[in-house]
Structure 1
Amino acid sequence: MGTNEDTADARTALLVREAMDRATAELPALMDLAGPARAEGRRRKARVRVAIGAGVLAVATLGAVTASLLPGSGSQGPVEVVVAAPPSPSAPPPQPLHIEPTPGESSMADLPAAERTRQENFQDQAVGVLQSLLPPTVGTVQRTDLKVNFYRATKDGKAFPLIFSVRPSSEQPQPCQEVRGRVCAKATLPGGIEAHASTIPTGNGAVNETEVSFRYGTCNVRLSVFPHEASNTSSPVSPAQLLEVAKAPAFLDLVRTAQAQPMEEEQRSIPGG
């Protein structure tokens, strides 16, 4: 007695044979050609039979595989077919956090359209870099529409103001001094640039701000993260972490861009100030 496998093979062979016979029967009869022409006609008919046979065999094989997946067929289990989802549309550009200027204070809304677009594009780049380099404790970084150097980080409902400034200046930044509870650290950045970081007590000493600053070309660079004073929560990033941000090539690329095409007014000292 034949096995189920033998029966399936016999059915497959029969399907192939019948399909080939039907397909070749529909071909026009060969003309009574002589010699090479008649031989070419036979070869054409043979090629059609082979091609159709291969296609039917593939269909029959697929049917056999499908049948093996049915209950009671002894299959190891269902085969999962994964269909790739269509690509999602591009995410819209991030919207700035609106901060109402104080009376008499200007904002980015007052800039000429081209300059405002240039500054907003830089802010978008800065948000991406800062988000990737700052520790997760700072939360989500957003740009604001008040000033090109003003951002905000939010974590667990607490907002931490953030300043990233690349400001032209003829004067060197003052080195960190450990006075009034200030704690300093320093590191050498690529290119031999010396950077100073510090923890600065604010709010009557109850909370701390953290800051890193250094000189780059003709500009003074500053990255500061302020506390959330309403909840007495200090800056969620340490001076050591800010120094690591300052060393990163992506951060220095931002600084280089802002130094080459300044977006902040030149810092000028006030005599007697």
Structure 2
Amino acid sequence: MGIDEDLVRDAMERTTADLPPLPDLTGPARAQGRRRKARARAAMGGAVLAVAALAAAGGLALPGGGEGARGATGVAAVPPETAKPQPPVHLEPTPGETPMSALPPDVRARQENFQNQAVGVLRGLLPGAFGTLQRTDLNVRLYQLTKDGKTFTVVFSVRPSEAGRNDKPCLEVKGQTCAKATLPDGTEVSAATAPVNSATVTESRVFFHYGTSDVVLSVGSHEASNTSAPVTKEQLLEVAKAPAFLDLVKDADRQPVQEKQTVVPLG
């Protein structure tokens, strides 16, 4: 027996006729959506303010801003340990010799700063040959290098001349051998390998005049083991031509870290 669709429709209309109308749900839904967006914006704004406060206090470096080297996290990179100045080798002064510790604080600070720069430059130019290079606390021109358990004295001096230019030619006498080079500005540089300790071992040095200063870089021998300097005159010539080394020389020529060289007349 089939269902009369008209009767069913009439019954449904009578059943729902007395029910209250359905509420409008679109308005509350829109209001709730607006409240959720407002809360999200407030939370985001608070996070941005917190990050900005940390950056202003120095606790965080924002990515993409500021100067200097940055790490993967945006924080300024920390220099490696090898870049930090190392403590000097202590040398006892001889009678009448003035150690750096007795100098005025400002003079001592300038000399120590120059020594630290010199150590960094020389290590970079001759890392294999020089072994471990350190400054000393006795004199601004004195350094020590250790190689294969042996200690060699290094002298790096940029001293104002007493009366202007004071060139001393390299002479090949008594077993000394010489070499020369010319810097881009025309400055002539001499280097020598000279016998020491009864001519059984040798030391190496390079020397030239720059501005108003006499420049010397020398590496001595190790007397106890009768070992020659671990650096050749040719290597020192390459050091003298390096821009980083010449920058040190220029700075010391403009603002000397050593006293003017004096000559005591004889007679």
Answer yes or no: is 1:143 the counterpart of 2:174: no
Shift of 1:173: 2.6
Partner residue, 2:208:
214
Query: What stretches of structure 2 of length at least 5 have no aligned partner?
Result: 1-21, 38-72
Partner residue, 1:7:
none
Separation in structure 1 between the aligned mates of residue 79 and residue 240 of structure 2, nearest angstrom? 34
Answer yes or no: is 1:115 the counterpart of 2:107: yes
Shift of 1:39: 5.7
TM alignment of 1:224-263, pairs within 5 A = 224-263=218-257
SS state at 1:131 partner: helix
Output one character per residue of 1:52-90: Cα deviation in whole Å (capped at 9) or x when no partner.
Answer: xxxxxxxxxxxxxxxxxxxxxxxxxxxxxxxx9x98797
2:172 to 178, 190, 208: 178
SS state at 1:229 partner: coil
Partner residue, 2:181:
187
Output one character per residue of 1:20-55: Cα deviation in whole Å (capped at 9) or x when no partner.
Answer: xxxxxxxxxxxx9858635625867999xxxxxxxx
Sort the Cα spacing of 1:33 and 1:241 in 2 relative to 1 into closer, same or farther, 3 A. Answer: farther
- Give the TM-score of the pair, scaled to structure 2: 0.70
Shift of 1:191: 1.0
Separation in structure 2 between the aligned mates of residue 132 and residue 229 of structure 1, nearest angstrom? 26
Is the contact made by 1:135 and 1:241 (CA closer than 8 Å) also made in structure 2? no
User: How many residue pairs align between the two structures?
Assistant: 205
- Aligned partner letter, 2:92: E
2:30 to 35, 40, 62: 40
Is the contact made by 1:173 and 1:213 (CA closer than 8 Å) also made in structure 2? no
Partner residue, 1:16:
none
SS state at 1:103 partner: coil
Sort the Cα spacing of 1:177 and 1:33 in 2 relative to 1 into closer, same or farther, 3 A. Answer: farther
1:161 to 146, 150, 153: 153
Partner residue, 2:259:
265
Shift of 1:106: 1.1
Separation in structure 1 between the aligned mates of residue 80 and residue 180 of structure 2, nearest angstrom? 41
Shift of 1:109: 1.2
- Aligned partner letter, 1:231: S
Return the index of the structure with the highest Cα Rg.
Answer: 2
Shift of 1:155: 0.8
Output one character per residue of 1:130-162: Cα deviation in whole Å (capped at 9) or x when no partner.
Answer: 111125122011000010000011011100100
Shift of 1:267: 1.3
Output one character per residue of 1:76-113: Cα deviation in whole Å (capped at 9) or x when no partner.
Answer: xxxxxxxx9x9879746310100000112111011011
Output one character per residue of 1:213-244: Cα deviation in whole Å (capped at 9) or x when no partner.
Answer: 01110000000000111111100011110000
